[in-house]
């Protein structure tokens, strides 16, 4: 070979070598940006579940993106919100965090909405010439979930709760709603073959199931309704009754709206009156008062026939009763229309993170059907994905929560949802304690809610 030809071919060979190396790194596609392969750490804060429940998803995702580490932290609900605010004030805090579905609007300014796409470096191992294993890095831009996909893939309440001005602010692993827990032995003793499907049946059953001693003490309660302090999520039960009574979900809320074809009927007032009657000693269905134990504990002790609760109460009941309680779950009684009240947590991305791209990529990966299925099985939670509804129907305790998720709704709680819940709870208490009539109590609650609704 002549020196002249060698002089020409040598640079070409060097170029060819670089092309081969680049091809191995990029998979022959888009060039891998340096930022995509830089080591990063995502901090993840949640209230529910230990890290073990999400470890399979985290491990699977990190297999493709080993340059990214996820640090998971579980906090107590009582300390959670304050910890978030204090961390952000210091310029710290998590990249990914969970919030109740009613907090999405409240936390909007602290959330980075889902981007149109996420760009990630994907790592894999290939064999060069079928012999030597080498690492391959490929960069991909993946389109994010679009609004029609969100509406089609998730139960309806997810779209209603997480979309603001056509942007997605969170994704859930699970969606919960209110079910009716019932004590099988107490129903059998009262010759009641099945749990009630209507509120008329509930009223009849409560009369049969309530036991009061000679001194007026309730020794066996028919249902935990009519109070607040010793009934978990009492305001949720009232909201459920309002929805079922045909209360209109307005923004801002108007509890005093009547039914269009019946101006004399105000559903929210009727719902509050119905709820409060169970703690009125002058009513036939008197079965509850403030001196009774916490409703969840009383149900686990076998002294409460019906308990309105969420699927997350199942492991708590099993723990409190040491697995000795014979109980079942059913759809809540219905009135006018088949509806339920949605209550769940949403996973979202912080406004202050430098890694929003990676954080949203992880959340979209984690909530896919093939990945979230294991999480749902390990935690015993009801799915947020429509495609898994039929699969989870096989679990007899979860079935009511699965089926009702398709008709579960919520309403906007304003910028300060905690205050809305507190004012609603105060309204219940004022009626139960005979301080105000239901209409007056709701009128006052509405006035107070509107003062903080948009602030």
Domain coordinates of the chain in residue numbers?
Answer: 22-175+345-381, 177-343+411-452
- pLDDT at res. 401: 97
Rounded (10°) CA dihedral 341, 344, 346, 347: -160
Q: Are 156 and 386 in contact (CB under 8 A)?
A: no
CATH class of 177-343+411-452: alpha beta
Q: Which residues fall within 8 angstroms of residue 22, CB to CB, at 6 or more apart? A: 31
Residue 408 parent element (H or E): strand 408-409
pLDDT at 128: 67
Work out whether the CA dihedral 36, 37, 41, 44 comes out positive or negative: positive
Q: Are strands 176-177 and 340-343 parallel, antiparallel or unpaired?
A: antiparallel
**Can you name the residues that pair with 262 across neighbouring β-strands?**
259
Q: Which of these, 173, 134, 170, lies nearest to 312 by C-alpha position?
A: 173
- State the Cα angle at 246 between 200 and 106, rounded to 5°: 120
388 close to 376: Cβ distance less than 8 angstroms: yes
Residue-level pLDDT at 130: 63
Residues of the chain with pLDDT below 70 are 1-30, 128-130, 249, 455
The pLDDT score that the predictor gives to residue 335 is 84
Are 268 and 256 within 8 A, CB to CB?
A: yes
Task: Give, in words, the CATH class of 22-175+345-381.
Answer: alpha beta
Residue-level pLDDT at 129: 62
Which residue pairs from 283-287 have beta carbons closer than 8 angstroms and sit at least 24 positions apart in sequence? 284/207, 285/203, 285/206, 285/207, 285/210, 285/222, 286/210, 287/206, 287/209, 287/210, 287/218, 287/221, 287/222, 287/223, 287/225, 287/226
Work out the angle between the directed axes of helices 369-379 and 55-64 (0-180°, nearest 10).
Answer: 150
Q: Residue 256: what pLDDT? A: 85
Which pLDDT belongs to residue 27?
40
Let me know if the fold of 22-175+345-381 is the same as that of 177-343+411-452.
Answer: yes
pLDDT of 30 reads 62
| Stretch (H or E) spanning 170 | none
């Amino acid at each position: 070979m002549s020196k002249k030809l060698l002089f020409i071919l040598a640079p070409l060979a060097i170029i060819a070598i670089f092309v081969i190396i680049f091809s191995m790194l990029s998979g022959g596609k888009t060039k891998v940006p340096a930022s995509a392969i830089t080591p990063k750490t995502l901090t993840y804060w949640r209230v529910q579940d230990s890290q073990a429940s999400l470890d399979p998803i985290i491990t699977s995702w990190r297999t493709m993106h080993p340059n990214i580490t996820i640090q998971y932290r579980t906090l107590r609900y009582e300390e959670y919100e304050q910890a978030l605010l204090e961390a952000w004030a210091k310029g710290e805090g998590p990249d990914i965090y969970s919030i109740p579905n009613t907090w999405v609007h409240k936390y909007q300014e602290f959330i980075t909405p889902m981007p149109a796409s996420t760009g990630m470096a994907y790592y894999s191992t290939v064999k060069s010439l079928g012999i030597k294993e080498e690492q391959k890095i490929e960069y991909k831009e993946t389109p994010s979930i679009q609004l029609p996909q969100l509406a089609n893939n998730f139960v309806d309440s997810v779209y209603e709760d997480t979309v603001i001005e056509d942007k997605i602010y969170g994704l859930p692993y699970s969606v919960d709603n209110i079910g009716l827990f019932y004590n099988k032995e107490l129903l059998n003793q009262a010759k009641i073959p099945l749990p009630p499907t209507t509120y008329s049946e509930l009223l009849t059953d409560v009369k049969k199931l309530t036991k009061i001693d000679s001194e007026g003490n309730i020794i066996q309660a028919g249902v935990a309704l009519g109070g607040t302090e010793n009934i978990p999520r009492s305001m949720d039960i009232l909201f459920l009754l309002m929805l079922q009574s045909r209360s209109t979900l307005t923004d801002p809320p108007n509890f005093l709206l009547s039914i269009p074809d019946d101006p004399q009927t105000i559903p929210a007032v009727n719902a509050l009156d119905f709820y409060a009657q169970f703690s009125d000693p002058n009513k036939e269905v008197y079965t509850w008062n403030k001196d009774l134990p916490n409703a969840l504990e009383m149900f686990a002790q076998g002294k409460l026939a019906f308990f309105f609760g969420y699927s997350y109460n199942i492991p708590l009941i099993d723990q409190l009763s040491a697995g000795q309680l014979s109980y079942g779950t059913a759809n809540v009684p219905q009135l006018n229309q088949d509806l339920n009240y949605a209550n769940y947590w949403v996973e979202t991305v912080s406004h202050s993170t430098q890694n929003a791209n990676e954080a949203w990529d992880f959340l979209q990966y984690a909530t896919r059907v093939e990945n979230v299925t294991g999480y749902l099985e390990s935690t015993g939670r009801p799915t947020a994905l429509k495609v898994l509804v039929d699969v989870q129907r096989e679990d007899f305790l979860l079935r009511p929560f699965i089926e009702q998720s398709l008709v579960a709704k919520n309403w906007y709680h304003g910028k300060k949802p905690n205050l809305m819940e507190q004012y609603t709870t105060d309204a219940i208490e004022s009626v139960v304690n005979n301080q105000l009539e239901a209409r007056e109590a709701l009128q006052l609650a509405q006035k107070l809610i509107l003062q903080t609704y948009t602030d």
